[in-house]
């Protein structure tokens, strides 16, 4: 059962990395540091959007419109942290 706990924590860490990478990449694209017309940048951006849209979509439907400010990544990160805290506090179940 300990390996199940470690696998769950690894999945949450990977999800955290994807969300943070998506946020940083969106900033770099908006500040025109990255050119989304370059093939590599476009493929990474498309892949991150495809992976994270199933997470962001329901969150965006719940949040009120903020006038161009997208809080879905912040809520997703908070959700990931909450799940990590719950798993760590109930770690005894996995041993």
The 3 state secondary structure assigned to 49-93 is: HHHHHHHHHHHHHHCCCCCCCCCHHHHHHHHHHHHHHHHHHCHHH
Q: Which two tokens stand for residue 54?
A: 């199933």
The Cβ-side half-sphere exposure at 8, using a 13 Å CA radius, reads 16
pLDDT above 80 (res 95):
no
User: 19-67 pLDDT, tens per residue?
Assistant: 999 999 999 999 999 999 999 999 999 999 999 999 999 999 999 988 8
């Amino acid at each position: 059962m300990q390996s199940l706990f470690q696998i769950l924590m690894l999945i949450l860490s990977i999800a955290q990395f994807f969300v943070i990478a998506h946020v940083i990449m969106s900033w770099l694209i908006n500040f025109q540091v990255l050119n989304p017309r370059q093939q590599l940048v476009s493929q990474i951006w498309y892949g991150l959007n495809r992976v994270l849209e199933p997470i962001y979509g329901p969150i965006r439907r719940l949040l009120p419109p903020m006038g161009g400010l997208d809080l879905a990544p912040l809520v997703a990160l908070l959700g990931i942290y909450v799940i990590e805290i719950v798993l760590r506090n109930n770690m005894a179940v996995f041993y």
